[in-house]
Amino acid sequence: MYLVDSMQRNQTAYVILGLLSIESNQSGYDIRKTIQGSVGYFWGESYGQIYPTLKRLAAEGLIVCRKSPAAARRQRQQYSITAAGHARLKDWLAIPYRDDPPRNEFLLKLFFGREAAPGISIRHIREFQDKLRRLLTTLQQMETIGRAKHSNNPHFPYWLLTHTFGVAQIRSALEWSESALAMLSAVEPATASNPQRRSVTGARSRRTRAN
Amino acid sequence: MYLVDSMQRNQTAYVILGLLSIESNQSGYDIRKTIQGSVGYFWGESYGQIYPTLKRLAAEGLIVCRKSPAAARRQRQQYSITAAGHARLKDWLAIPYRDDPPRNEFLLKLFFGREAAPGISIRHIREFQDKLRRLLTTLQQMETIGRAKHSNNPHFPYWLLTHTFGVAQIRSALEWSESALAMLSAVEPATASNPQRRSVTGARSRRTRAN
DNA sequence: ACACACATGTAATTGGTTACATGATTTC
DNA sequence: GAAATCATGTAACCAATTACATGTGTGT
């Protein structure tokens, strides 16, 4: 009852089942690395979530654990998905996805930007850009490697789907960020990171919030 | 100690402070509606989170509660932000935003699409499109109203910033979704919701999911 | 010898949703 | 008088992170 019940909305279980359906004989440690290297930019899991879930899935017979093969070096547990696990995954895939409640702290801070000291919002956007650019190069490297190594894998088209989504979103966010910076530097007074050129009326010394 | 400590990473507190800094004399009920109508597409809060947080903020002196004015109708509590609250908000705005851990169940289901019955991924994408289109019209209506009513509000430029971000992301997602559908209908066999035109072999009568 | 990556797990805490419980006021 | 909306709150539950605790194997 407890075990079966626990499967209702535990998304972690399904990432694990999904990854094991793509590649078997993975340890908890492997799974975490695989997550970071494949779905990492839109999904995260911590060990504190992975290990207990592995135990539970094994107890339910959805995965099986085989202690490290032949020369059992290290205390490595290797998991593989069972037929029941496959069926469970397939069922879950068929039901409509749930929108995970939206929470974007970057946008929230931007939204309240008027209350911040001048230059703050611009700094946030710059950081945002940096992160996006780094992520974009990572994704592009992954694509090159993926195309070379896995293009025969039947999962490849689906991987590519999520990949192109990510790239498109990042590109559009980067474009937006440029216009956002242009807009903000017109609105906010000059700061070190945002030197205003239009001297004339002494706009430089103006402060929009006295507090 | 308990009270002060609780402010470390409780984002709910800052949404509340932020909204009260824009408009005072709001009740918990108001705040929730305001959230949905302004930052709703990138931020959500439930009553179970709002009411206790209001109490805590009041106990810390960051907001004050005034029981409904004059003719005290209903049991309505009206909150306003204090100078201390303003300061706290400003401090929070100045520190770098935290990336909330990414979790996109839609993408996750797409990623494992190979394991799903044929047609499932296409259905998810269609649902995705519907949601995006509905959201887009909502945002566009909000923009028309916002421009008419609040364009003098000093917060307006910041609101517009997050708004244009949302619109840009949605547009790019919609574009992607078209190519995604095209790609998938080439990969997956025909289903009711995805009729293949190339008739010849009687593909029409094929059912991919018996269940 | 030391650092680093491999490897597994637990406990404490928290952030958050959902469901429940209650009642007033407005509108039809 | 019924239904919808306004309005406030609590309790149960759960999903998840973080920090802690421990130990092995590999490369330098």
Question: What DSSP string describes chain A?
Answer: -HHHHTTSS-HHHHHHHHHHHHS-SB-HHHHHHHHHHHTTTTB---HHHHHHHHHHHHHTTSEEEEE--SS--TT-EEEEE-HHHHHHHHHHHHSPPPPPPPB-HHHHHHHTGGGSPTTHHHHHHHHHHHHHHHHHHHHHHHHHHHHHHHTTSTTHHHHHHHHHHHHHHHHHHHHHHHHHHHHHHHHSPPBTTB-----TTTGGG--S---
Which residue in chain A has the smallest CA separation from B179?
A161
Tell me what pLDDT residue B196 has.
Answer: 58
The residues, any chain, with a CB within 8 Å of residue B138's CB and separated by 6 or more, are: B41
Q: Structure tokens of A67?
A: 């202690």
Question: H or E stretch including B67?
Answer: strand B63-67
pLDDT band for position B195 (50/70/90)? low
| pLDDT (tens digit per residue) in A174-206 | 999 999 999 999 988 766 555 555 544 444 444
DSSP SS3 for B63 = strand
Residues in Cβ contact with A88 at an 8 Å cutoff, skipping those fewer than 6 apart: A7, A17, A62
Q: Is the dihedral of CA B176, B177, B180, B186 positive or negative?
A: negative
User: Helix, strand or coil for residue B169?
Assistant: helix
Encode pLDDT of A62-112 as tens digits: 999 987 655 455 678 999 999 999 999 999 999 999 998 899 999 999 999
CA of B148 to C1' of D14 (A): 44
pLDDT of residue A192: 57
For the full predicted model, state whether its pTM sits above 0.85: yes
Tell me the percentage of chain A whose pLDDT exceeds 70.
82
Which residue from B131, B139, B104, B135 is spatially nearest to A165, judged by alpha carbons? Answer: B104
Distances (CA, A) of A69 to A26, A54, A66, B101: 12, 19, 8, 35
Q: Is the pLDDT of residue A140 over 70?
A: yes
> How wide is the angle at C-alpha B183 spanned by C-alphas B182 and B188, nearest 5°?
105
**CA–CA distance, A28 with A47 (Å, rounded to integer):** 8
| B residues 9..28 contacting A (CB < 8 A) | 11, 14-15, 18, 21-22
Query: CB–CB of B105 and A98 under 8 A?
Result: yes
| Residue B201: per-residue pLDDT | 47
Task: Out of A2-6, A50-54, B85-89, B169-173, pick the least confident.
Answer: A2-6
pLDDT of res. B188: 83
B contacts of A117 (beta carbons < 8 Å): 90, 93-94
Residue B76 pLDDT: 87
Give the residue with greater pLDDT, B85 vs A68. Answer: B85
pLDDT for the residue numbered A87: 96
Which pLDDT value is given to residue B75?
A: 76
CA atoms within 13 A on the CB side of B141: 7
Does position B138 have pLDDT exceeding 60, yes or no? Answer: yes
Looking at residue A188, what is its pLDDT? 82
pLDDT over 60 (residue A148): yes
Residue B187 pLDDT level (bands cut at 50, 70, 90) = confident
At residue B91, the pLDDT reads: 94
Q: Does B114 touch chain A (CB under 8 A)?
A: yes
Question: CB-CB: which of B100, B111, B172 is closest to A158?
Answer: B111
